[in-house]
Amino acid sequence: MENISGELGSRFYRGLRYVGGIGWLFTDTLSFIFVAPFSRRKLRVRGAPVFEQMARVGFSSLGIVCLVQFFIGIVIALQLANLLKTFGIREYVGSVVGLGMFRELGPLMTAVVMAGYAGAAISAELGTMAVSEEIEALRALAISPVRYLVVPRVIAAALMIPCVTMIGDFVGVLGGMGIAWGVLKIAPALFIQKMLMTLHTSDVFIGIFKSWVFALLIALIACFEGLRVDSGAEGVGRAATRSVVYSIVMIISADCFFTALFHIILKH
C-alpha cells in the first residue's frame, strides 16, 4: 500500500513539474511577444521565421485536415439520419451537422490531426537541434532559444490552426450536405436553411476560441518536449511520441472544461 501511495505521489509530483514547465515556457513566450519589443534592448520577433512556420503549420496541413473533416461530416449525417427520421425531423440533419462541425467536432478533430502532424514535427525538429547542440550554440551566442525557436512556432500555430479549423468546418458541412442530398434526398437549400436556423454566431466563436486554445497547447507542448531532449535519435522519437500523446490528452481535457464552462455561461 505504501509503495502504491509513493508511486502515485511521485507521478503527481512529476505531473505538477511538467505543467509548471509548460507554464514557465508560456510566460517566457508571452514576455518575448509583448514585453521584449518595448524594452531597452528592443528584442523584436523576426517576421521571416514566423511566416515560414505559418506555411509549414497551416498550408501544409490543410489537405489532410479537410479530408478528415469531410469524412466527419459524412459520418455525422449518416449516423443521425435514422435517429432523426424516427422522430420525423430528418430535415434537421443540417442543424446537427452545423453545430457538430463548427462548435465541437471540427475544432477537436482538427486539433488532434494537428497534434500528430505539426506537433510531432515541431518536437522532432527541436529535439534534433538539441541533440546536435545547436540550442547550446544559441545560448553561447546570448540568443534565447525561446525567442528564436519557440515564439515563431507558437505565433504560427495560434494564427493558422484556427484558420485551418474554419476551412475544415466548411468542408465538413459540405460533406454532410452532399450525403444529405445524395442519400437522404434533402435539398441543399433546406439543409442550409435548417443549419442557419440552429447555428448561432456564439457557436462559431466558441469553436474558434477552442481551436485557438488547442493551438497554444499543441505548440507549447511540442516545443517543451523538443527542448528537453538530452539523448540521441531515441530521445527525439520519445519526444515526438510524448508530444502527440500529451497534446491529445490536454486537448480533450481542455475541450471538456470549456464545454462545461460555456454550457453554464450560456445557460444563464
23-41 tens-digit pLDDT:
899 998 888 888 877 776 6
Residue 163 has pLDDT above 90, yes or no: yes
Cβ neighbours of 103 (radius 10 Å): 23
Higher pLDDT, 114 or 6: 114
Domain boundaries, the chain: 45-267
- In the prediction, which pLDDT does 170 show? 95
Query: Rounded distance, CA 56 to CA 121, Å?
Result: 10
Query: Which are the contacts of 180, defined by CB distance < 8 A and separation ≥ 6?
Result: 77, 81, 93, 94, 97, 186, 188, 191
**Run of H or E including 49:** helix 47-54
Residue 153 has pLDDT above 80, yes or no: yes
pLDDT digits (tens, 9 = 90+) for 1-22: 556 777 777 777 888 888 888 9
In the numeric block, which cell numbers belong to residue 140? 553561447
Residue 91 has pLDDT above 90, yes or no: no
Mean pLDDT of 151-169: 94
Q: Angle CA(100)–CA(101)–CA(102) in degrees, nearest 5? A: 100
Mean pLDDT of 243-261: 93
- In the prediction, which pLDDT does 235 show? 85
Residue written as grid cell 456564439: 202
What's the pTM?
0.92
- In the prediction, which pLDDT does 268 show? 58
Mean pLDDT of 133-140: 87
